[in-house]
A and B are shown apart, each in its own frame.
Chain A
Amino acid sequence: DVKVTQSSRYLVKRTGEKVFLECVQDMDHENMFWYRQDPGLGLRLIYFSYDVKMKEKGDIPEGYSVSREKKERFSLILESASTNQTSMYLCASSLGSRQETQYFGPGTRLLVL
C-alpha cells in the first residue's frame, strides 16, 4: 500500500514564525501536491511538483513556498505565518504518467495564533 506521511498531525505556531510542514511518500511517485482544506471550500491546491527540484504554483501559492530536494519528500514552508493560514494542510502524491489517482496523507492541522 502507498503510504504518505506528514510530520505532524497538530501544530500551533505564532504569527510571524517560519513553519515547515514535511511530507514523505514511499512509493517512488513522481508527483507530489500540497493542499489546504477549509470548511465549505474543499481542497485548494497550493503548490505541486512533477519531479525533484521542480515546483509549480497552484491556485493559492501566496504566502507559501515549497522544496523538493529528494523524490520522496515535499516540504511546504510558511515564511512568516499569519492567522489566515490557520487550516488543515494535506499532502498527496500520484504515480504520474497519466496515472493520476492521488494518495493523501492524514493531514496537519495548523493553528496560527
Chain B
Amino acid sequence: GESVGLHLPTLSVQEGDNSIINCAYSNSASDYFIWYKQESGKGPQFIIDIRSNMDKRQGQRVTVLLNKTVKHLSLQIAATQPGDSAVYFCAENTASGGSYIPTFGRGTSLIVHP
C-alpha cells in the first residue's frame, strides 16, 4: 500500500495472479476517487473511478473497493499481465466551488513477472 517516505511501495506478482493495491486517503469530505496508471516515460492515465455513494465498481479486469469508514480504497487487478507493470496512484477529490481539488497518493509500483 501507499506510505510516507522516499521509497515507493512495490508489489511484485506473477503473471496470471490477482493484484491488490491499497490506498489510505485522508479527507473524510472527499467524495470522488480515481485510480491512475503511470507507465514509464508517460503521464498518468485514468483507469477507474468511484463516487462515495458506492462501495464497489467494476471495470474490465479491474475492481475498485471503497471503505469510507476507515478511509481506504483498493484496486484489484484480475489475471495480472506484464503490461500492467506500472506505478498506480489513487486520487481523492474534494468539492470546492463548482469543481474538485485532487490530492494524489504517493503511488505503488506494480511489477509483474512473466
Contacts and interface: CB of A to CB of B under 8 A. Distances in A.
Interface of A: 4, 30-31, 33, 35, 39-45, 48, 50, 90, 92, 94, 96-98, 100-107
Given A50-B98, A90-B43, A98-B99, A41 B106 contact: yes
B25 interface: no
Contact of B32 (A30, A35, A100): A100
24 contacts: A31-B99, A39-B8, A40-B8, A41-B106, A43-B104, A44-B104, A48-B101, A50-B99, A92-B43, A94-B99, A98-B32, A98-B95, A98-B98, A98-B99, A100-B32, A100-B34, A100-B100, A101-B34, A101-B46, A102-B34, A102-B44, A104-B36, A104-B44, A106-B42
A45 B101 CA distance: 9
Nearest to B100: A100
B12 interface: no
Contacts, number: 69
Sorted from nearest, which 3 A-B pairs have the closest CB atoms?
A104-B43, A40-B6, A42-B106
Interface string B91-114: 101010111111111110000000
Interface of B: 5-8, 32, 34, 36, 41-46, 49, 89, 91, 93, 95, 97-107
A102 B6 contact: no
Contacts of A45: 101-103
